[in-house]
Amino acid sequence: MKAIITALLFFACVPLAQAVVVGKEVTYTSGDTRMKGYLAWDDAITGKRPGILVVHEWWGHNEYTRKRANMLAALGYTALAVDMYGDGKTASHPDDAGKFAAAVRSNMDEARARFQAAMETLASQKTVNPEQLSAIGYCFGGGIVLEMARSGADLDLVASFHGSVATDKPVEKGQVKARLAVFTGAADPMVTAAQVEAFKAEMDDAGVDYLLVSYPGALHAFTNPAADQYAKQFGLPLKYDAAADADSWNQLVELLQEVYGK
């Protein structure tokens, strides 16, 4: 009897399945521009699952973006870290990052085309249910995913982390198909309180289903541990906030579970 109990206890402590996150680089095109993305999924799961687009900060498609894609894959989704700059361009100085981001935002038709190309690439993957797509974005990427939602992108959930909420084209009623979640820092000088209030009024007027969470004392880039290094190196108003990072991620996880089921 003692041997049986010991065996039962042993097997009770062994997980039935463990996430086996696999990642690979993928290349796709938007017009004449080659885009370099990164696809991540759990190879221990069989069948199709929801797909999540991850849009990078203004630094470009870097390891931080891929880390978030891997985290989503570990939760059972297939994630595509997209490339909005083209050819996988990244910046190591804010001057270059600003130029790259401004170039994309100055031509929103092209931005939508690039985002659509990423959506189609993700939807075509054998591990993805093409009817279940969502998008998240950080900093520059947070503003981009909100603009895609405003333009009626066929997404289930759109989440922005310390992204721009201002727009030149306020959304019209019935235009947004996705549920929205916006996580912002109350002390972020790049996303002001006035802009946040204008965003809330815009969404309320349009009858959009949205969540907005403002973290007291949090600055820009509060989810990225590298923010403190960037702040010191370039004198930028950035700061990592571990509590806000954890809470915003946990809320994203819960929202995805609400949309797609546990």
Going residue by residue through the chain, which has 262 residues, state the pLDDT in tens, using 9 for 90 and above. Answer: 433 333 333 333 334 357 799 999 999 999 999 999 999 999 999 999 999 999 999 999 999 999 999 999 999 999 999 999 999 999 999 999 999 999 999 999 999 999 999 999 999 999 999 999 999 999 999 999 999 999 999 999 999 999 999 999 899 999 999 999 999 999 999 999 999 999 999 999 999 999 999 999 999 999 999 999 999 999 999 999 999 999 999 999 999 999 999 6
Three-state secondary structure readout of 20-89: CEEEEEEEEEECCEEEEEEEEEECCCCCCEEEEEEECCCCECCHHHHHHHHHHHHCCCEEEECCCCCCCC
Instruction: Give the model's pLDDT for residue 228.
Output: 98
At a CB cut-off of 8 Å and minimum separation 6, what does 31 contact?
A: 110, 113
Amino acid at 222: F
In this prediction, residue 19 carries a pLDDT of 78
Amino acid at 241: D
pTM to 2 decimals?
0.92
Among positive and negative, which fits the CA dihedral 149, 150, 152, 156? positive
What was the pLDDT predicted at 117? 98
Q: Which CATH number fits domain 24-260: 1.10.1040.10, 3.40.50.620, 2.70.70.10, 3.40.50.1820?
A: 3.40.50.1820
Distance set, CA 176 to CA 46, 90, 157, 198, 235 (Å): 32, 30, 10, 17, 37
| CA separation for the pair 84, 56 (Å, rounded) | 8
Q: What is the pLDDT of residue 17?
A: 52
Q: How far is CA 205 from CA 80, 174, 182, 193, 223, in A?
A: 32, 11, 17, 18, 30
